[in-house]
Amino acid sequence: MEEDQGFAAAHPFIEDLKRKDFATTAPLDERRVTGAAFLDELVDAWIASTPFMKFVTRAVGLTF
pLDDT in tens, 2-56: 655 678 888 888 888 787 787 878 888 999 999 999 999 999 999 999 998 898 8
How far is Cα 21 from Cα 53, in angstroms, rounded to an integer? 12
Question: In 3D, which of 9, 28, 25 has the Cα closest to residue 17?
Answer: 9
How far is Cα 28 from Cα 52, in angstroms, rounded to an integer? 20
Rounded alpha-carbon distances, angstroms, from residue 24 to 1, 7, 44? 33, 24, 14
pTM for the model: 0.57
pLDDT at 2: 60
pLDDT at 50: 93
Beta-carbon-side half-sphere exposure of residue 58 (alpha carbons within 13 Å): 6
